[in-house]
């Protein structure tokens, strides 16, 4: 029976909600905090910040991660920056404006009150990180510098060159290390959560595998927090780190946690194009480059054909023959339209034959105008490491002069194309970040909470750190206030034994298939299906075909997989097989959600639902809700429940980036 979910948002006008909420907080008695244990799975920006903050507040934290150090969590990949409504530029920014831009950027499918809270705490995050010593870029006078990201007409993105995620993670890591030193955080590196343990309907612990020895271990706590990142790697090729997987989230989903809006997948417009079938990873070129880089394709089809054949180069095409299609279509935001809009526009041009490389699936990102205006030194200061990264991969340095036409210098442009990058969907959480399983919380990219159908650039770090430093440490206390009188359960309980046995049996099953295909070959095929049928342009027919193909491939996985080695000791192939098993569950979930949502919004583009100009066409009358899915067993269709969205402060309207 489908349920209507309640997000537990307190009544009152949106801007007051969070303040009121904090004021009414039932904080756990400080003495009891010392007795309460919390498991935090993940040491990315969300997990590390939460673990450090909870420990600082007095709780005992067990913190797990797959990598050998928290510093190697996927969050270090974040390049461009983190948003906050400081208004250091005096350009009219405010908490309300950041809130409004984020709700609009998410195509009016985010929970309004959550986004307001996010905008409000954004400024605290910057103060926290500066206090930790994060080396944000500064203006000549010492003020923190800002740049712009898509979907905003103000400069509110704080950055540390093109390495913002790494610097923020080092900040969080130092706070975490201080708590490890103080004995309040126990760190379990090279450990992977294999299941969540539910006792009497509440999350009471996890089964984790020591990845080096292969041994399964049981951990119990008063609450479990997962901060395990997104599910972009379901598509095989994505900008995510190779180790990113959605297994922890899928384990929780299988145990009863609802999964929200899985079809909201972000395709980032500025990635290095796919260049062959042997690739296992795609590289992002940060959105920050769109501050100074201009995106174009040729106006004439014959020029595009010559570029594709390699008989002409981009820099040989004069200004008047270039189509800066984003500036043409969206004059108000130009190259800084949100990612979903920019990605679709690139696909539209390439589908029409204007692609600029040998596959026809690339557009130019050109710095000629800005280098001519600002000089190469300024551009290198802003994007030096990104230019070097591009050169390392493609052997082209975007700062090299290539041609001069009528006295104007033309530099070698980058080539870019959209790629899977981020997942807005995730484990459903209420306003307190608690899942549908009491005692189980989800934060950062692995929950669904704040971005709606499309995330604006530089908002993921903001959300992860908001959740970890400022939201969860308050909200989890509402749950723990009642739990303070409960002793931690014993790991000898049958629920722990059963969960461990099931994980062990599953490992045996995978090892004993002894088929012919490697994990990667099947994963790559799944990725092709996802990209082809559940990717940038979706149709009902295509989604049904995709689901059918996924079922067939899953059968192949279950009968013809080959996993070498044993479960004793390190076995990366076995770990990958477990991840792939869960990517199958995830891929099907994305397709079911996409099929049920007969509208286009943000990153979910159903080709049947578009305007004459090719823009996404929402259906607010029928789909103004969060789609929440409940697991119904392998091979069965999950069940959809709905959380109606409620907007009080913002008028829901059609997105407009043209004027």
The rounded distance, in Å, linking the Cα atoms of 267 and 423 is: 9
Assess 60 for contact with ligand FAD (CB under 6 A).
no
Complex with ligand FAD: residue 80 or 546, whichever CB lies closer: 80
Find residue 226's DSSP bridge partners: 41, 442
339 as an active site residue: the answer is yes
The helix, strand and coil proportions of the chain, stated in percent and rounded to the nearest 5, come to 40, 20, 40
Assess 484 for contact with ligand FAD (CB under 6 A).
no
Assess 78 for contact with ligand FAD (CB under 6 A).
yes
Q: How far is the CB of 385 from ligand FAD (least distance, A)?
A: 13
Per-residue binding string, ligand FAD, 322-361, x by CB under 6 A, is ----------------------------------------
The rounded distance, in Å, linking the Cα atoms of 146 and 190 is: 36
Q: How far is the CB of 136 from ligand FAD (least distance, A)?
A: 13
* Token representation of residue 314: 């981009």
Complex with ligand FAD: residue 165 or 398, whichever CB lies closer: 165
Complex with ligand FAD: residue 45 or 336, whichever CB lies closer: 45
Assess 165 for contact with ligand FAD (CB under 6 A).
yes
Per-residue binding string, ligand FAD, 561-600, x by CB under 6 A, is ----------------------------------------
Q: How far is the CB of 1 from ligand FAD (least distance, A)?
A: 31
Find residue 403's DSSP bridge partners: 410
Assess 42 for contact with ligand FAD (CB under 6 A).
yes
Which of the stretches 197-205, 211-219, 221-229, 295-303 binds ligand FAD when contact is defined by CB under 6 A? Answer: 221-229
Per-residue binding string, ligand FAD, 281-300, x by CB under 6 A, is ---x----------------
User: Strand, coil or helix: what is 398?
Assistant: coil
Chain centroid to CA 127: 24
> Site for ligand FAD (CB under 6 A): which residue of 33, 44, 52, 583?
44
What is the sign, positive or negative, of the torsion defined by CA atoms of 373, 374, 380, 382? Answer: negative
Assess 46 for contact with ligand FAD (CB under 6 A).
yes
* Token representation of residue 215: 């041994």
Report H helices in 514-633: 519-534, 540-560, 572-596, 620-623
Per-residue binding string, ligand FAD, 179-208, x by CB under 6 A, is -------------xx---------------
> Site for ligand FAD (CB under 6 A): which residue of 60, 75, 146, 220?
75
| DSSP of 114-156 | HHHHHHHHHHHHHHHHHHHT----B-TTSPBP-B--TT-SS--
Task: Provide the pairing of β-strand 223-226 with 440-442.
Answer: parallel
Q: How far is the CB of 584 from ligand FAD (least distance, A)?
A: 16
Complex with ligand FAD: residue 74 or 202, whichever CB lies closer: 74
Chain centroid to CA 378: 30
Assess 228 for contact with ligand FAD (CB under 6 A).
yes
Which of the stretches 40-48, 108-116, 473-481, 546-554 binds ligand FAD when contact is defined by CB under 6 A? Answer: 40-48
Per-residue binding string, ligand FAD, 9-28, x by CB under 6 A, is --------------------
> Site for ligand FAD (CB under 6 A): which residue of 57, 77, 137, 376?
77
Assess 303 for contact with ligand FAD (CB under 6 A).
no
Assess 615 for contact with ligand FAD (CB under 6 A).
no
User: Strand, coil or helix: what is 615?
Assistant: coil
User: Strand, coil or helix: what is 87?
Assistant: coil
Residues 410-469 that bind ligand FAD (CB under 6 A): 421-422, 444-446, 458-461, 464
* Token representation of residue 308: 């594709």
Assess 244 for contact with ligand FAD (CB under 6 A).
yes
Which of the stretches 72-80, 88-96, 255-263, 525-533 binds ligand FAD when contact is defined by CB under 6 A? Answer: 72-80
**Residues found in the chain:** 659
CB 546 within 8 A of CB 527: no
The CB-side HSE value for 344 (13 A sphere, CA atoms) comes to: 23
Residues 494-523 that bind ligand FAD (CB under 6 A): none
Helix and strand numbers (H, E) in the chain are: 19, 21
CB 120 within 8 A of CB 470: no
Q: How far is the CB of 353 from ligand FAD (least distance, A)?
A: 29
> Site for ligand FAD (CB under 6 A): which residue of 39, 54, 65, 476?
65
Number of residues that bind ligand FAD (CB under 6 A): 43
Residues 339, 344, 382, 538: which is the catalytic one?
Answer: 339
The rounded distance, in Å, linking the Cα atoms of 589 and 522 is: 18
> Site for ligand FAD (CB under 6 A): which residue of 47, 150, 269, 535?
47
Contacts 24+ apart (CB under 8 A), 518-525: 518/562, 518/573, 519/561, 519/563, 519/573, 519/576, 519/577, 519/580, 520/280, 520/576, 522/553, 522/556, 522/557, 522/561, 522/580, 523/236, 523/576, 523/580, 523/583, 524/236, 525/553
Report H helices in 426-518: 460-465, 472-483, 494-513
Assess 148 for contact with ligand FAD (CB under 6 A).
no
User: Strand, coil or helix: what is 253?
Assistant: helix
Catalytic center residues:
339
Q: Which residues bind ligand FAD (CB under 6 A)?
A: 41-47, 64-67, 73-75, 77-82, 164-165, 192-193, 227-229, 239-240, 244, 247-248, 284, 421-422, 444-446, 458-461, 464
């Amino acid at each position: 029976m489908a349920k209507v979910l309640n997000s537990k948002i307190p009544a009152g006008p949106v801007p007051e909600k969070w303040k009121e909420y904090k004021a009414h907080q039932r904080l756990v008695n400080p003495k009891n905090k010392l007795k309460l244990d919390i498991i935090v799975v993940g040491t990315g920006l969300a997990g590390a910040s939460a673990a450090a903050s909870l420990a600082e507040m007095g709780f005992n934290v067990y913190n797990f991660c797959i990598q050998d150090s928290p510093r190697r969590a996927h969050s270090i990949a974040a390049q461009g920056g983190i948003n906050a409504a400081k208004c250091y530029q005096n350009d009219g920014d405010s908490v309300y404006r950041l809130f409004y831009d984020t709700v609009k950027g998410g195509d009016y499918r985010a929970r309004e009150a959550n986004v307001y809270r996010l905008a409000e705490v954004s400024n605290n995050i910057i103060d926290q990180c500066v206090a930790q010593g994060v080396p944000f870029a500064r203006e000549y006078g010492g003020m923190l510098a800002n740049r712009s990201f898509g979907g905003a007409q103000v400069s509110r993105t704080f950055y540390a060159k093109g390495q913002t995620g790494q610097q923020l993670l080092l900040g969080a890591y130092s706070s975490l290390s201080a708590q490890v030193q103080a004995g309040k955080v126990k760190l379990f590196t090279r450990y992977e959560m294999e299941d969540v343990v539910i006792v009497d309907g509440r999350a009471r612990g996890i089964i984790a595998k020591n990845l080096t020895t292969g041994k399964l271990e049981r951990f119990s706590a008063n609450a479990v927090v997962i901060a395990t990142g997104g599910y972009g790697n379901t598509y095989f090729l994505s900008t995510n780190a190779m180790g990113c997987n959605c297994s922890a989230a899928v384990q929780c989903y299988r145990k009863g946690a609802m999964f929200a809006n899985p079809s909201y997948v972000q395709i980032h417009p500025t990635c290095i194009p796919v260049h062959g079938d042997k690739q296992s990873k795609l590289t992002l070129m940060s959105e920050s480059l769109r501050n100074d880089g201009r995106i174009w394709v040729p106006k004439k089809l014959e020029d595009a054909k010559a570029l594709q054949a390699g008989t002409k180069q981009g820099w040989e095409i004069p200004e008047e023959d270039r189509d800066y299609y984003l500036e043409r279509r969206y004059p108000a935001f130009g190259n800084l339209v949100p990612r979903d809009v920019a990605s679709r526009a690139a696909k539209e041009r390439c589908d029409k034959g204007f692609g600029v490389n040998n596959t026809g699936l690339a557009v130019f990102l050109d710095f000629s105008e800005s280098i001519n205006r600002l000089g190469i030194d300024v551009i290198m200061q802003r994007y030096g490491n990104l230019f070097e990264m591009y050169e390392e991969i493609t052997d082209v340095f975007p700062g090299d002069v290539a041609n001069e036409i009528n006295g104007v210098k033309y530099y070698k442009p980058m080539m870019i194309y959209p790629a899977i990058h981020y997942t807005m969907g995730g484990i459903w959480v209420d306003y307190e970040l608690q899942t549908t399983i009491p005692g189980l919380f989800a934060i950062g990219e692995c929950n669904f909470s704040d971005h709606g159908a499309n995330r604006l650039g530089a908002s993921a770090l903001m959300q992860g750190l908001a959740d970890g430093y400022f939201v969860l440490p308050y909200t989890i206390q509402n749950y723990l206030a009642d739990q303070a009188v409960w002793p931690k359960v014993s790991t000898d309980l049958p629920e722990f034994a059963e969960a461990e046995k099931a994980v062990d049996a599953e490992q045996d099953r995978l090892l004993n298939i002894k088929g012919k295909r490697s994990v990667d070959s099947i994963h790559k095929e799944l990725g092709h299906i996802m990209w082809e049928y559940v990717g940038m342009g979706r149709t009902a027919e295509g989604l049904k075909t995709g689901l059918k193909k996924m079922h067939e491939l899953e059968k192949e996985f279950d009968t013809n997989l080959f996993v070498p080695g044993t479960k004793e000791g390190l076995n990366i192939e076995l770990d990958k097989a477990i991840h792939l098993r869960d990517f199958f569950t995830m891929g099907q979930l994305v397709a079911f959600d996409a099929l049920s949502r007969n509208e286009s919004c943000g990153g979910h583009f159903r080709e049947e639902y578009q305007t004459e100009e090719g823009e996404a066409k929402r259906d607010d009358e029928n789909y103004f809700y969060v789609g929440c899915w409940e697991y119904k067993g392998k091979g069965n269709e999950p069940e959809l429940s709905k959380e109606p969205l409620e907007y009080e402060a913002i008028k829901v309207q059609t997105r407009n980036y043209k004027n």
